[in-house]
Amino acid sequence: MRTISKWLVVFLTAAQGCLPAQLQAKSLATRLLEENRQSLQPEIIQVGNNVYTAKGYDVANISMIVGDDGIIIIDSGRDVARVSEVITQFRHITHKPVKAIILTHSHGDHTGGVALFQQQGENPVVWVHEQFNAEARRFSALKEIYRLRGARQGGFLLPPEKRISNGIAPAFSPQAGGGFNPKQWIAPSYNKLTHPRHILQIAGITLELIKAPGETEDQLAVWLPQQRILFSGDNFYRSFPNLYAIRGAGYRDIAVWAQTLEMLAALQPQYLIPGHTRPVFGTENAVNALRTYAEAITFVLEKSLEGINKGMTPDQLVAYVVLPEDLANSEYLQQYYGSVAWSVRAVFDAYMGWFDGNPINLVPLVPQEEAARMAELAGGEKALQVKAEQALAKNDTRWAAKLAHYLLVLDPANSEAMRLQATALEQLAEQMVTTTGRNYLYTVAQELNQRADKN
């Protein structure tokens, strides 16, 4: 895969600011995402003798291990139509019944289709980590806001032309509720992984389940020792990892995540099947992929802590923690899905809490007071609006968005400010390669335009 240094991205992005509008139709970020999209197309990939992974059908990979008298499914997808398509593809390969389903973790994109696979066998066993779903239980009071921000991050409400991919999977919108009706669940008799490692024999296949906390506490990895095939769950995929989810999520203990990756690399897998994106073939490549990931995570953590210890604020840290060039150029670390800057902020928050150390933030002006004073500085609300329009015209987009924000704080019904901010956010989205943020900006812009239309 072609890789482009982030410095080049910064340079070209800055250079584009000087181009006339008609030449800016496609930003570099857009072109990089379009190029990466090719690797996310649906494909059934054979790995080793008897393992198949369906990549790019649903959001997450769905894998099948073919045994003597049955098959084992690893992760079940989410969307009913997509999962059904995968089942059809798998049934071209074998008609053996499903004996077991292993869920690498509890996120909906890996679990929503479990009932469909249960129907493909006679009461197959389901294996999960003993902490399965702990995250959802802990945050159950926040369902509404998670749904709203999750839809923004996922771009589910955007028209197709605004969505190139979701960075590690094709862009599509799983049907409401994930296309999955919880009532369809066949009472699952979950087997829980309680030991660090557990060896199983299913359909003549020897496999090992390994506790692998990282992206979630309830992550488990699956290891086929005979063929040296490793299923990493979401602790690895071909993008800089989503160390912090902007939809809103608790801190992901990235020190533990890096340790888990080192432990998985020590297995010396010959094949690495990620939770999303294409598998990695060959021991050298697979070990290198896992180590590169661990190295990047450790770098972000240690450099952040170093900066925090020097008294840096989150804003200063973002400028301070820059991946070294070899990591920045790695094909496994392009920021299609996770962002270094947002990870750094998450580390600050996890280790220091919300207070950045600046005393004025202990006694802040309420937003309305601050916005009123900004308007006063500009020479009144009308003048502030003119400044915002001028900033937008000069491609000073972040400033335009900020000034529009002040206008909306002063008057939440100001349609012109809504449209101004929407345009600014759309321009910022177009320059952004991290799809979660890109989707978020585009979706909020769409919400603002819709509100302005109703006014």
Residues lying near Zn ion in the complex (CB under 5 A) are found at 60, 109, 234, 275
At residue 230, what are phi and psi to the nearest 5 degrees?
A: -120, 130
| Residue 112 or 124 having the CB closest to Zn ion | 112
Compare residues 96 and 278 and give the one whose CB is closer to Zn ion. 278
Minimum CB separation of residue 107 from Zn ion in Å reads: 5
Of 42 and 121, the one with the shorter C-beta distance to Zn ion is 42
Distance, CA of 376 to CA of 409 (rounded, Å) = 14
Quote the least distance from Cβ 249 to Zn ion, whole Å. Answer: 13
Of 77 and 124, nearer to Zn ion (C-beta) is: 77
Give the span between the Cα atoms of 348 and 317, in whole angstroms.
Answer: 8
Listed residue (446, 445, 450, 353) closest to 405, CA to CA: 445
What backbone torsions phi and psi does residue 222 show, to the nearest 5 degrees? -120, 135
Give the span between the Cα atoms of 318 and 338, in whole angstroms: 14
Q: How far is the CB of 169 from Zn ion (least distance, A)?
A: 8
Instruction: Estimate the crossing angle of helix 254-265 against helix 283-309, to 10 degrees.
Output: 160
Distance CA(67)–CA(97), nearest Å, equals: 10
Of 237 and 271, CB closest to Zn ion? 237
Half-sphere exposure of 21 (CA within 13 A, CB side): 5
- In angstroms, give the least distance from the CB of 299 to Zn ion: 23
Minimum distance of Zn ion from residue 269's CB (angstroms): 19
- Of 108 and 121, which CB lies nearer to Zn ion in the complex structure? 108
Contact between 351 and 308 (Cβ < 8 Å): yes
Q: How far is the CB of 50 from Zn ion (least distance, A)?
A: 24
Helix (H) or strand (E) holding 439: helix 435-454
Kindly tell me which of 155 and 314 has the beta carbon lying closer to Zn ion. 155
Q: How far apart are CA 296 and CA 427, in angstroms?
A: 29
Spell out the residues 6+ positions from residue 10 whose beta carbon is closer than 8 angstroms to its own: none
Going by their DSSP bridges, the two strands 205-211 and 71-74 should be labelled as unpaired
Residue 445 has phi, psi (to 5 degrees) of -60, -45
State the minimum distance, in angstroms, from the CB of residue 175 to Zn ion: 18
